[in-house]
Structure 1
Amino acid sequence: MLARRIHIQNPTAKRIGAGKLENYRLDFHTGSKNWLGAPATIVPTAGAHVYGAIWEIDMCNLKDLDDQESVPDGVYIPISVPVLSLTSNTDIICRAYHLTNQPLSEVHGQSVPPPSIPLDRQPSQTYLKVLVKGALETGIPEEYVKWLRGLKHNGNQVATMEEKLQLDQVKLS
């Protein structure tokens, strides 16, 4: 969702606005050497929803986006999903990415979080700040941003990304 992040490899990407994807949930799984924690994924889940940013990217930059999301390395798989644009109130078919290795259980519920979350299901503090800053920048509903801020993270920080993405002012719960 964060413009500074997507523009690293896709400088011409244009944000269309916030979107809501029904029957999927946000989750985290496995580990990322770059982010020092579990990266995000979307998991098909009846009755759940996840918010995100809708971007317009020129087809000539699709490989750059896939590379940024580690598709050639087999980390993520691109999928096409109908996303409700909160700006136009219409469905837009969007390219989204989910981890090849999907989590099998839900540990980041949107109501009451479980008492313990395995380390391999926790994002780094830096990664979570990227999500929160991107959500605020995109205009994601405040209730969802509050939920994001409260997600359990592993405390790891990636100093280079904290500086590059200007995350010093982002507050988590």
Structure 2
Amino acid sequence: MKAVANAAVAVFMFMSILVGCSNSVKPDASMFEVGIEELQGIRANEPFIITGYLKNNWKHSWEILHGAGMFTYEIVDMEGNPVKRESGMLFQNDIGYLVQIKPNEVYKDNGEEQRSEEFYTFVIDKPGRYKVRTNVEFQIEHNQEIYEQTLTSEFYKFTVE
């Protein structure tokens, strides 16, 4: 009976250490992947939507806070020159979201209902090869602390026909 009690205490202590270790990990950029959904069939002078994503590559869930403008995009030609954007007045609601992102979960939110479509819908007037990257800004609430995160993906190449 004493052996069973000792084993139960040992298991409890081991689990407490594991839980304590997981709670002491501070979130950082290496725990996430930022990317963009593949762009295909893009035609000159026709609108297309860019959708970025944030993937949790860590083994634990995170509580993230973000605004409607979590994802922004940069498009450049193959020489690195920014593609000009024709846009009128842009709007964005100052609204905040709190979501949980689970291990290996991919999160996408272009804020379609809370900001102008010009933030994620683009038109390129000349055929050719281009590059785009995703910028993402959010906060992580962990152990009653807030960790600011600003991450940028690699440039992804795509063709405009």
TM-score range (shorter-chain normalised) is under 0.3
Query: Bigger relative contact order, structure 1 or 2, given CA contacts below 8 A and separation 6+?
Result: 2
TM-score by length of 1: 0.23
Q: Greater helix share, 1 or 2?
A: 1
User: Which structure shows the bigger proportion of residues in strand conformation?
Assistant: 2
TM value normalised by structure 2: 0.24
Q: Which has the larger radius of gyration?
A: 2
